[in-house]
Amino acid sequence: MPCWYVMCFNAHLIKTIKQYLSITKKGAGKMNRSAVNRLGWFFSIVSLALVANIASASVITNIHEFSVSPVFTDNFSDGNPPPSAPDLVGGGAASYFAPAGFPSGAESGGKLQLDSSLGGPYVNAIGDSRKSQFATLSLNLLSLGVTDISGKFDLVAPPARGDAYGLYMLGFGPSASLELDFMVWHGFDDALSIFLVLQDFVSHTITPIAQAPVDFGFAEIALEFDVTNGIIGSYTYLDNNGVPASAATVLGSIGDIPGISVVETGFFAGEAVGGATVPEPMSIALFGIGIVALSMFSRRRIS
């Protein structure tokens, strides 16, 4: 629980308890209706504020490089954020599909800031509402001889349950619509991990492929898809200069998926919205106390 919540809670609680135990004009030891009501409402309002604070936390990180080898590399050094993109290796125009857009100034000094609060609405394969700021490279990778896809990100902890950032691949066909996400993830059990997960928008399923704890003792992380034989997801920790500070670790893999005729890729920062975030136990307890207090004392005649 944030410290300022605790300070406000303690100050108001002390004041209210004093009123609660005060002697009224009608007799000693009787409870003050106004104080009791204020106490009940205060518990409820504080708990709701806590829940809202958790649910609205945004993912903010930087991506330093996005590469689709051997045809494309974006070092985010020209100051023009997506949908603008550098040309393909060897010539040829490229661009991103970025419907929510990126504000002016988001790209500078060899990095692009990702901020999920600036994203647009997104619904995952099982119908959960999310907000996501993303950029998809507008190329069909199947015809380009791509060997790997990688992104280098500042390694920060996604602040709230359901928050994430990382890479994705999209696969489409006559009867297929898939998304493979490779991300730093804040789970609904509060675990922070590196997560590889497959979404199927036809069968409306989400299948975890592999997951590992994340070590925040490093400055950056590189996420990579090797697509030479199926799809293999691996990660490497980097130092402040973007130099590898650990060996590459294979997280998981999937085989080739039949029926796919278009493959695209990109990067994102996303957050849960609506009721997707589970409130912490303290918030539930405070809310329960408030409701009980209001219910109890609304039924009693209190002088």
Name the region of 42 (left: φ>0; alpha: ψ -120 to 50; beta: rest): alpha
- Note down the domain range covering 119: 58-272
| Residue 178 reports pLDDT greater than 90 | yes
pLDDT of residue 258: 85
pLDDT of residue 219: 98
| Residue 97 reports pLDDT greater than 50 | yes
**Same structural domain, 107 and 189:** yes
**Same structural domain, 257 and 285:** no
**Same structural domain, 49 and 126:** no
Long-range CB contacts (< 8 A, 24+ apart) of 186-194? 186/157, 186/158, 186/159, 186/160, 186/161, 186/162, 187/161, 188/161, 188/162, 188/277, 188/278, 190/161, 192/157, 192/158, 192/216, 194/221, 194/223, 194/235, 194/251
When comparing pLDDT for 51 and 32, which is higher?
Answer: 32
When comparing pLDDT for 115 and 11, which is higher?
Answer: 115
pLDDT of residue 274: 55
pLDDT of residue 15: 53
pLDDT of residue 38: 58
Tell me what percent of the residues of the chain surpass a pLDDT of 90: 66
Q: What's the whole-number mean pLDDT along residues 98-116?
A: 95
Least confident of 100-109, 216-225, 271-280: 271-280
Number of domains comprising the chain: 2
Q: What's the whole-number mean pLDDT along residues 92-102?
A: 94
Q: What's the whole-number mean pLDDT along residues 46-75?
A: 77
When comparing pLDDT for 235 and 19, which is higher?
Answer: 235
Long-range CB contacts (< 8 A, 24+ apart) of 190-198? 190/161, 192/157, 192/158, 192/216, 194/221, 194/223, 194/235, 194/251, 195/164, 196/233, 196/251, 196/252, 198/254
**Same structural domain, 23 and 122:** no
pLDDT of residue 19: 54
Least confident of 1-10, 24-33, 54-63, 158-167: 1-10
**Same structural domain, 69 and 105:** yes
**Same structural domain, 62 and 23:** no
**Same structural domain, 188 and 257:** yes
**Same structural domain, 43 and 162:** no
**Same structural domain, 167 and 203:** yes
CA quadruple 198, 163, 244, 263: dihedral sign: positive
**Same structural domain, 234 and 222:** yes
Residue with tokens 């009501």: 37
**Same structural domain, 141 and 198:** yes
Q: What is the pLDDT of residues 117-129, one digit of tens each?
A: 999 999 999 999 9
Q: Is 43 exposed, middle or buried (0-12, 13-18, 19+ CB in 10 A)?
A: buried
Q: Is 113 exposed, middle or buried (0-12, 13-18, 19+ CB in 10 A)?
A: buried
pLDDT of residue 33: 57
Q: What's the whole-number mean pLDDT along residues 19-47?
A: 49
- pLDDT band of residue 40 (cuts 50, 70, 90) is low
- pLDDT band of residue 90 (cuts 50, 70, 90) is confident
Q: What's the whole-number mean pLDDT along residues 254-266?
A: 92
Q: What is the pLDDT of residues 227-250, one digit of tens each?
A: 999 999 999 999 999 999 999 999
